[in-house]
Amino acid sequence: MANCSSCPDHADCGPPELDTRGFDGVVALAGNPNTGKSTVFNALTGLRQHTGNWPGKTVTRAEGGFKFKNRRYKLVDLPGTYSLLSTSQDEEIARDFILFGQPDCTIVVTDATCLERNLNLVLQVLEISDRVVVCVNLIDEAKRKGIAIDASALSDDLGVPVVATAARAWKGLKELTQTVVDLIDGKIKTAPKRAFGDGAFQDAVTELIPLIDEVAPDLPNARWVAMRLLDGDHRVRQALQSGDLARLAARTRGPIEQASPLIALGGTQ
Amino acid sequence: MTDGRSNQAAAQLVLARADALRGNLADDFRDDLVEATYDEAQAIAERAVRQVRAPRWNLDLAVDRLVTSRIFGLPLMLVLLAAVFWLTVAGANYPSALLMKVLFAVEAWGSALFESWSIPWWITGFIWHGVFRAVAWVVGVMLPPMAIFFPCFTILEDLGYLPRVAFNMDWLFRKAGAHGKQSLTMSMGFGCNAAGIIACRVIDSPRERLIAILTNNFVPCNGRFPTLILLASIFVAARFSPGLASFAAAGTVVGVVLIGVFFTLIVSAALSRTVLKGEASAFTLELPPYRRPDILRVLYTSLIDRTVFVLARAVAVAAPAGAVIWILGNVTADGVPLARHVADFFDPLGRTIGLDGVILLAYVIAIPANEIVVPTMLMVYMGGKIMTEDVTGTSLESLLVDDNGWTMLTAVNLMLFSLLHNPCATTILTMWKETRSYRWTALGALLPLVIAFAVTFTVAEFARLFGAG
Amino acid sequence: MLAPVAQLGSTLVTLAIVIASALALVFGGRVARWWGGMREAGRRVLAEDALKHIHNAGLRGNPATPDSLAGALGLSPHRTVNLIARLEAGGWLKSSAEGLSLTSEGSQWAVQVIRAHRLWERYLVDEARMPLERVHAEAERREHHRTADAVDALEASLGFPRIDPHGDPIPTARGELAELRALAITEWPEKTPGRIVHLEDEPPAIFARIAAARLVPGQTLVVEESTPERLVISVEGRTLVLPPIAGANVFVTPVEAPERRALPTPLTTLGVGQSAKVRGLDESLRGYTRRRLLDLGLTPGAVIKAEMAGIFADPVAYRVRGSLIALRREQARHVLIDPVAHGKASDG
């Protein structure tokens, strides 16, 4: 029948740790497939990419670095996904990194020509992390198609900074890095948009949050954890039981050298 | 850590509460959640996005209508495939020959230098005629085609054409119980089967991913193209006028590739009806808008990431293999080189399937990497002799046909064997890494081998029946 | 002519020996362990199947007997007696003049096996996308050899389903089993919407008829015509004729708030160039495919437009929320849209 990796109880094989020595911060790059995420990655890292992305989309971990005002940041390219509801290996990798890898900032790259679909992912990332910068890429292509994006309206609605870029033409990248660094330095405060679901669901979430707070105090995303527990997310249940979530909460902004062993990147590698 | 136990109890409490609360929710609360998120996304997008002017003539849709047209779709695909191969064959011809000339001149110069320093013959032979020659061959034969093939291919990929191929071909793959995205992973297999197998991660369903993994070997990878191109040039293209030769060679390679596609579909269908039974899974394929390829990025990914990556691996395997070949060719027992003994051992089996012992020996030595099949064959055929002339020219034809009795049957069966035989060690290892199963890996390695023997045996029998070969 | 044949033979024999010894070196230990494990596992499968049979017979109201057990498991009388003795000694069952009954430990075990069975059925339908009529046999094979933890993990990964694909309730980890109250559609009033809650999967021949009609729990149906000869029902925009013997195995409960909108039609009715609003995904589409289609934005209210078909007419590419997504006919028919008024097709 199906192979072992199809079994729901198939355990992940030893995830490699993220080597952050010599870096002052970790930035994750998330986004839908086909949004020019790799172009943004290459533009930021100046083609200092370590691994090849064979099939038009990132299947192996791609890491690089960029420098800004004498500080070095590690940039991790996550697999392109439509959602983070953990329905495929890709989504699990991306979700786990944003949750357990605790990047200092997550850039969500979106396609300006098809913003609505992309915002679905943005809203999900905002549930997990409040350190998010939205990059509206392919703004040049949108212009050609007669589409105008009001970045400040978008930023007001989402509660996080929004930067328009045209990565292929190297436009808006400086502003993007400046915004990311400002966010990491705490110069930009965020208030991410979080509120979905109908009444009964919201009530259940509200009831769970204080209980979660007791187990893992000061978790920045207790709301999201509550939602995932209601959904029956096995990975989050485990993290709660094993105390990983509590440790995450205790380690808010600690030295990156102690990065959690839970950083599960690279799939089965 | 001090209150670990009480924390764990609290965690259990949370989970129990969550389970109880879930029981009170509507059956499809998950759907509602996604719907609510999308509604929010739609509302935000409506505020932030403005269509300032009507979109101009939709080029994308026009191109898409052509590319997916029932009349032009398939021919267009074949023409593009043939064009890429023709560019590769024709474009690589001259630089390959030049590169070989230079590298073999280096070999002659190096061995002469060693001789002038009166270094023992076996050290000179081992280093220059063994290790260096195998590396030189691999670099000379592989680098130019790859440097042309990969950028062409990456351009098609960046342009957004490949997803359209998957879209068009899906119907065939569905009939075979597989996924249309398998054509993407197959395309990737042209570069390297190991990479093609990693690429199978784009297929979400485990069953269909496994089918794609197990059959990826039926597209010839870059390591096997030199064999195909060489045979196509000597046995097919040579019969055409020089102007048409490169087209004939490219046509032959396309033909072999189509046979490979045929076997992929047949084997996929067989697998999905036997050991990998199951219903077709979710097929969702995004067709991204066409985009102008970013030439810098194309060159970077195709040359640095792909070409150098594959070449480096080939060289790493070729060097020790060169050493082994040289030892087999120069260490003698009963006055005959070891290679001959081994080749003679394989010879009856080889003859049965229309090949010979040397070819099979070459394939055994080439298990680590297919790139070294041709150099191994040539080295064994030549014995101790050193060939420094133009290797792709007529001297090679006379070596194979006149000295070693190759016929059209040998050529055809060698092409088939090269197309169908077992994957290389790297590919087998990748299969294991991706499936984590010895059983599937063994199937993926042995099934092609069995098919290769069966097909070449059948062809040989038919050829003999009709008096050829 | 003989010499080459003999030579070929010796070559093949040598190769076979080399390959066989290599395989023995690599897999030898595994084979030995596997063989040892098989005997133990076989005993457990037998015991679990026996407990399940006794449990189900008890539920039906006529207790199992050694004869019925031998028949159900296909065992000889001698082996059946041994099995019963073994299970009785283990404290799992009691035999009396009325027949066989389970101890409380025994029924707990049986319920756990049923729980594993129904979860596996859910997994096979939702995630492995196996046809409904085949899952029972496969789940029968998979329900054994699983630790309680593994079954719990399976339950969590499936998102804690409450019913199996046939509509039977799935016991919880503590062994609680919900009661089911429903009527067969042969007894259901005409023109009243009912929600399918259970499909009886025995006997297989009749179940195959139900599965072929693509009826699944969760769907809302209306009985249009009910006579002893034939049963006409409409479900998700389709009108079906069922033999009453099949209808007797389809169970429904009342729908709280019957919908008063025009019936939806499948996305496959949308011609190239036409647009429509998505009504929702049909109930038979579950698991990964459902989540993926939702993630792509095929939620109620989204506007969808058929842009083009592939060279073989299937799949079709649809524009939804700004991106172009290709769907096979097989998926598209699970997407329900508002009916398209014909002639309203607009191109470009």
| Chain B touching partners, 3 or more CB pairs below 8 A | A, C
Residue C28: its pLDDT value, please?
67
Mean residue pLDDT across chain C:
82
Residues of chain C neighbouring A231 (CB-CB closer than 8 A): 159
Say whether pLDDT at A131 is over 80.
yes
For residue C21, the domain's CATH number is: 1.10.10.10
Say whether pLDDT at B360 is over 90.
yes
C250 and C278, same structural domain? no
High-pLDDT (> 90) share of chain C, %:
12
Residues of chain A neighbouring B195 (CB-CB closer than 8 A): 52, 54-55
Judge whether C176 lies within some domain. Answer: no
Which of B174-183, B359-368, B446-455, C252-261 tops mean pLDDT?
B446-455
Query: C322, A116: Cβ pair inside 8 Å?
Result: yes
Residues of chain A neighbouring B278 (CB-CB closer than 8 A): 1-2
For residue C308, the domain's CATH number is: 2.30.30.90
* Chain C residue with minimum CA distance to B29: C159
For chain B, count helices (H), then strands (E).
21, 4
Q: Taking a C-beta distance cutoff of 8 angstroms, is the pair B290, B241 a contact?
A: no
Distances (CA, A) of A145 to A138, B51, B81, B221, C346: 11, 8, 31, 40, 20
Q: Taking a C-beta distance cutoff of 8 angstroms, is the pair A93, A267 a contact?
A: yes
High-pLDDT (> 70) share of chain A, %:
77
pTM to 2 decimals? Answer: 0.79
Smallest Cβ–Cβ distance between A123 and the set B40, B49, B55 belongs to B40
Residue C150: its pLDDT value, please?
83
**Residue C285 pLDDT class (50, 70, 90 cuts):** confident
- Cβ-based neighbour number of residue C302 at 10 Å: 22
High-pLDDT (> 90) share of chain B, %:
25
Q: C53 vs chain B: nearest CA distance in angstroms?
A: 28
| Measured distance CA(B414)–CA(B362) in Å, rounded | 12
**Residue C144 pLDDT class (50, 70, 90 cuts):** confident
Residue A110: its pLDDT value, please?
96
Beta strands A105-111 and A132-137 are: parallel
Smallest Cβ–Cβ distance between C289 and the set B38, B61, B281 belongs to B281
Taking alpha carbons only, the member of A229, A193, A145, A165 closest to residue A29 is A165
Average pLDDT, stretch B81-108? 86
Residue A165: its pLDDT value, please?
95
Q: B2 vs chain C: nearest CA distance in angstroms?
A: 27
Q: Does A9 touch chain C (CB under 8 A)?
A: yes
- Cβ-based neighbour number of residue B134 at 10 Å: 27
Helix (H, G, I), strand (E, B) or coil at C222: strand
Mean residue pLDDT across chain B:
85
B26 and B138, same structural domain? no
Q: C301 vs chain B: nearest CA distance in angstroms?
A: 9
C330 and C293, same structural domain? yes
Helix (H, G, I), strand (E, B) or coil at C278: strand
Q: Which of B240-244, B298-302, C315-319 is least confident?
A: B298-302
Taking alpha carbons only, the member of C121, C166, C126 closest to residue C142 is C121
Q: Taking a C-beta distance cutoff of 8 angstroms, is the pair C114, C192 a contact?
A: no
Query: A117, C322: Cβ pair inside 8 Å?
Result: yes
Q: Which of B96-100, B388-392, C145-149 is least confident?
A: B388-392
**Residue B443 pLDDT class (50, 70, 90 cuts):** very high
Q: What is the pLDDT of residues B228-285, one digit of tens each?
A: 888 888 888 888 888 788 888 888 888 999 999 999 999 999 998 888 876 666 778 8
Helix (H, G, I), strand (E, B) or coil at C144: coil
For chain C, count helices (H), then strands (E).
10, 14
- Which of C86, C102, C118 is the last residue in one of the domains? C102
Q: What are phi and psi of B438, to 5 degrees?
A: -70, -35
Say whether pLDDT at A60 is over 60.
no
Smallest Cβ–Cβ distance between A232 and the set C127, C159, C321 belongs to C159
Query: C326, B39: Cβ pair inside 8 Å?
Result: no
Rg (CA), chain B: 27
Say whether pLDDT at A269 is over 50.
no
More confident residue, A223 or A57: A223
Residue B314: its pLDDT value, please?
77
Query: In terms of residue numbers, what domain contains B452?
Result: 75-465
Taking alpha carbons only, the member of C120, C139, C124, C134 closest to residue C288 is C124
B401 and B259, same structural domain? yes
Query: In terms of residue numbers, what domain contains C318?
Result: 265-337
Residue C247: its pLDDT value, please?
87
H-assigned helices in C257-315: 287-295
* CA terminus-to-terminus distance, chain B: 78
Residue A172: its pLDDT value, please?
93
More confident residue, A5 or B335: B335
B86 and B44, same structural domain? no
Query: C33: exposed, middle or buried (C-beta count within 10 Å: 0-12, 13-18, 19+)?
Result: exposed
Smallest Cβ–Cβ distance between C322 and the set A6, A8, A114 belongs to A114
Torsion of CA B440, B442, B444, B447, to 10 degrees: -120
Q: Does C310 touch chain B (CB under 8 A)?
A: yes
Domain count, chain B: 2
Say whether pLDDT at B410 is over 60.
yes
High-pLDDT (> 70) share of chain B, %:
94
B400 and B300, same structural domain? yes
Say whether pLDDT at B444 is over 90.
yes
Say whether pLDDT at B464 is over 80.
yes
Average pLDDT, stretch A135-158? 92
- CA B464-B466-B468 angle, to 5 degrees, is 60
| Measured distance CA(B89)–CA(B250) in Å, rounded | 6
Q: A114 vs chain C: nearest CA distance in angstroms?
A: 5
Scanning the structure block, which residue is given the tokens 């041994």? C82
Q: Which of B402-416, B449-463, C201-215 is least confident?
A: C201-215
Residue B2: its pLDDT value, please?
46
Residue B415: its pLDDT value, please?
94
Residues of chain B neighbouring C323 (CB-CB closer than 8 A): 286, 288
Domains and CATH numbers, chain A: 20-193 (3.40.50.300), 199-250 (no CATH)
Average pLDDT, stretch C268-277? 92
Judge whether B249 lies within some domain. Answer: yes
Residues of chain A neighbouring B284 (CB-CB closer than 8 A): none
Judge whether C217 lies within some domain. Answer: yes
The answer for residues whose C-beta is within 8 angstroms of residue A200's C-beta and 6 or more apart is B24, B25, B26, B29
Chain A to chain C, count of Cβ pairs less than 8 Å apart?
Answer: 54
How many CA atoms within 13 Å lie on the side-chain side of C14?
Answer: 11
Average pLDDT, stretch A125-137? 93
**Residue B420 pLDDT class (50, 70, 90 cuts):** very high
The answer for residues whose C-beta is within 8 angstroms of residue C27's C-beta and 6 or more apart is B438
Average pLDDT, stretch C155-161? 78
Residue C259: its pLDDT value, please?
56
More confident residue, C149 or B388: C149
C246 and C191, same structural domain? yes
Residue B389: its pLDDT value, please?
45
Taking alpha carbons only, the member of B181, B259, B186, B247 closest to residue B221 is B186
* Chain A residue with minimum CA distance to B305: A52
Q: Does A2 touch chain C (CB under 8 A)?
A: yes
Residue B387: its pLDDT value, please?
46
Query: B349, C8: Cβ pair inside 8 Å?
Result: yes
| Measured distance CA(B121)–CA(B131) in Å, rounded | 14
Average pLDDT, stretch B221-228? 83
| Measured distance CA(C99)–CA(C106) in Å, rounded | 15
The answer for residues whose C-beta is within 8 angstroms of residue C9's C-beta and 6 or more apart is none
Judge whether C125 lies within some domain. Answer: no
Q: Taking a C-beta distance cutoff of 8 angstroms, is the pair B121, B410 a contact?
A: no
Judge whether B99 lies within some domain. Answer: yes
CA dihedral (A108, B199, B66, C311) positive or negative: negative
Taking alpha carbons only, the member of C131, C120, C117, C129 closest to residue C157 is C120
Judge whether B271 lies within some domain. Answer: yes
Residue A55: its pLDDT value, please?
37
Question: Residues 415-434, chain B: which have Cβ within 8 Å of C?
Answer: none
Q: C91 vs chain A: nearest CA distance in angstroms?
A: 31
Which of A132-141, B145-154, B420-429 tops mean pLDDT?
A132-141
Q: Taking a C-beta distance cutoff of 8 angstroms, is the pair A220, A132 a contact?
A: no
Query: B349, C11: Cβ pair inside 8 Å?
Result: yes
Query: C297, A2: Cβ pair inside 8 Å?
Result: no
Q: Which of A26-30, B253-257, C145-149 is least confident?
A: C145-149
**Residue B384 pLDDT class (50, 70, 90 cuts):** low
Average pLDDT, stretch B194-199? 84
Average pLDDT, stretch C253-263? 67
Average pLDDT, stretch B312-329? 83
Q: C286 vs chain A: nearest CA distance in angstroms?
A: 12
Average pLDDT, stretch C107-117? 88
Q: Does A83 touch chain C (CB under 8 A)?
A: yes
Residue C297: its pLDDT value, please?
92
The answer for residues whose C-beta is within 8 angstroms of residue B254's C-beta and 6 or more apart is B78, B81, B82, B85
Residue C260: its pLDDT value, please?
58
Say whether pLDDT at A252 is over 60.
no
Smallest Cβ–Cβ distance between B185 and the set A55, A116, A148 belongs to A55
Q: Does C309 touch chain B (CB under 8 A)?
A: yes
More confident residue, B263 or A65: B263
H-assigned helices in chain A: 37-45, 89-100, 115-128, 139-144, 151-158, 173-184, 199-215, 222-231, 234-242, 244-250
Query: A54, B206: Cβ pair inside 8 Å?
Result: no
Scanning the structure block, which residue is given the tokens 């990332």? A125
Residues of chain C neighbouring B279 (CB-CB closer than 8 A): 129-131
Query: B287, C326: Cβ pair inside 8 Å?
Result: yes
* Chain B residue with minimum CA distance to C1: B348
Q: A119 vs chain B: nearest CA distance in angstroms?
A: 5
Q: A237 vs chain C: nearest CA distance in angstroms?
A: 9
Average pLDDT, stretch B378-387? 66
Rg (CA), chain C: 27
* Relative orientation angle of helices A115-128 and A89-100, to the nearest 10 degrees: 50
Domain count, chain C: 3
Scanning the structure block, which residue is given the tokens 């064009």? B83
Residue A262: its pLDDT value, please?
31
Query: A196, B56: Cβ pair inside 8 Å?
Result: no
B304 and B220, same structural domain? yes
Q: Does C56 touch chain B (CB under 8 A)?
A: no
C89 and C14, same structural domain? yes
- Which of C102, C137, C157 is the last residue in one of the domains? C102
- Which of C192, C223, C254 is the last residue in one of the domains? C254
Q: Does A10 touch chain C (CB under 8 A)?
A: no
Smallest Cβ–Cβ distance between B167 and the set C4, C26, C315 belongs to C315
Say whether pLDDT at B391 is over 70.
no
Best C170, C292, C311 residue to mutate vs chain B (most B CBs within 10 Å)? C311
Residue B211: its pLDDT value, please?
94
B79 and B26, same structural domain? no
**Residue B375 pLDDT class (50, 70, 90 cuts):** confident
The answer for residues whose C-beta is within 8 angstroms of residue C127's C-beta and 6 or more apart is A6, A8, C158, C287, C288
| Chain A touching partners, 3 or more CB pairs below 8 A | B, C
B100 and B40, same structural domain? no
| Measured distance CA(C325)–CA(C304) in Å, rounded | 10
Judge whether B434 lies within some domain. Answer: yes
Residues of chain A neighbouring C296 (CB-CB closer than 8 A): 82, 117
Distances (CA, A) of B469 to B256, B335, B421, B462: 20, 31, 21, 10
Helix (H, G, I), strand (E, B) or coil at C335: strand
* Chain A residue with minimum CA distance to B204: A88
Q: Taking a C-beta distance cutoff of 8 angstroms, is the pair A208, B17 a contact?
A: yes
Say whether pLDDT at B349 is over 80.
yes
Judge whether B61 lies within some domain. Answer: no
Judge whether B69 lies within some domain. Answer: no
Average pLDDT, stretch C9-26? 75
Rg (CA), chain A: 18
* CA terminus-to-terminus distance, chain A: 23
Average pLDDT, stretch A244-249? 74
More confident residue, A215 or A266: A215
